[in-house]
């Protein structure tokens, strides 16, 4: 009797192409899209070698949730060194996402918790639906954040507010997140993904070099002294303003037409 073929495992990260856009959907619906090592590796693989022609990315979840953080059901007991290495791997992958050179727009709903909030903070534009819940519950579980929250989310909220958020485990709504900077847009139910696509298409029409400069320079300048930041700004301006796209942008403005960037 022929043996039935095993059902193939669903992809943890689905990738849809829409012209210059790539729409990435975290696909662990039974886990509220909790992050596991395989999903983290899939995100790293995409951003390390994005498909030719992709100029912007939309990142979202499925089944009513963006990402509920690290999958504690797959927690592996590690010693101090192993835990540090695991955390540093998260830092490396979040940097790959933030600095790949592609603008990334998060369409958020449901759980944006723990590592899910760390992931969202590594993206460049964040849109929240009314169901969105922002939370850093690690302190309630006897652990400390390890995916970059101390830096990325700490800079958004400020150290004082982040400390209170972690000590109490409080949850922020989409509107509260908007006021605090955890989201850039608060929209109605079902509106995050359409707005993310629209914004991504708008961003994709920018010159690739100026998008790249904004992604690479702005957050790094925030790490620098005032004088180093100003000098770095001048370098970024010199590179971008002497490019062919800058010439096209000026010409298009004078001719009152949309620019046609490379």
> pLDDT tens-digit profile of 10-51?
799 999 999 999 999 999 999 999 999 999 999 999 999 999
Catalytic pick among 16, 44, 118, 191: 118
In this prediction, residue 255 carries a pLDDT of: 76
* Annotation marks residue 138 as catalytic: yes
Q: What is the mean pLDDT of the chain?
A: 93
In this prediction, residue 7 carries a pLDDT of: 45
Instruction: Enumerate domains of the chain plus CATH numbers.
Output: 13-204 (3.90.226.10), 208-254 (1.10.12)
CA pair distance 46, 87, nearest whole angstrom: 20
Catalytic pick among 16, 44, 74, 138: 138
Residue scoring higher pLDDT (9 or 7): 9
* Residue the block writes with tokens 């490019």: 243
In this prediction, residue 193 carries a pLDDT of: 98
* Annotation marks residue 9 as catalytic: no
The three-state secondary structure class of 212 is helix
pLDDT above 70 as % of the chain = 95
Are 68 and 143 a contacting pair, CB within 8 Å?
A: no
């Amino acid at each position: 009797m022929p043996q039935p073929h095993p059902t193939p495992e669903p992809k943890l990260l689905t990738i849809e192409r829409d012209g210059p856009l790539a729409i990435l959907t975290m696909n662990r619906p039974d886990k509220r899209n909790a992050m596991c090592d395989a999903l983290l590796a899939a995100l790293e693989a995409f951003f390390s070698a994005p498909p030719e022609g992709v100029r912007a990315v939309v990142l979202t979840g499925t089944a009513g949730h963006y990402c509920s953080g690290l999958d504690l059901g797959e927690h592996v007991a590690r010693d101090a060194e192993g835990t540090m290495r695991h955390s540093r791997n998260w830092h490396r992958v979040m940097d790959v996402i933030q600095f790949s050179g592609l603008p990334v727009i998060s369409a958020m709903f449901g759980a944006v918790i723990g590592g899910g909030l760390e992931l969202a903070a590594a993206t460049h534009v964040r849109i929240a639906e009314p169901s969105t819940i922002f939370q850093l519950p690690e302190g309630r579980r006897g652990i400390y954040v390890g995916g970059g929250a101390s830096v990325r989310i700490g800079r958004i909220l400020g150290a004082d507010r982040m400390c209170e958020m972690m000590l109490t485990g409080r949850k922020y709504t989409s509107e509260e997140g908007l006021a605090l900077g955890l989201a850039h847009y608060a929209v109605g139910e079902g509106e995050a993904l359409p707005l993310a696509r629209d914004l991504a298409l708008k961003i994709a029409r920018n010159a690739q070099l100026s998008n790249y400069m904004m992604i690479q320079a702005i957050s790094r300048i925030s790490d620098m002294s005032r004088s180093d930041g100003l000098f770095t700004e001048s370098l970024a301006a010199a590179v971008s303003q002497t490019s062919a796209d800058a010439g096209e942008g000026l010409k298009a403005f004078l001719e009152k037409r949309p620019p046609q960037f490379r």
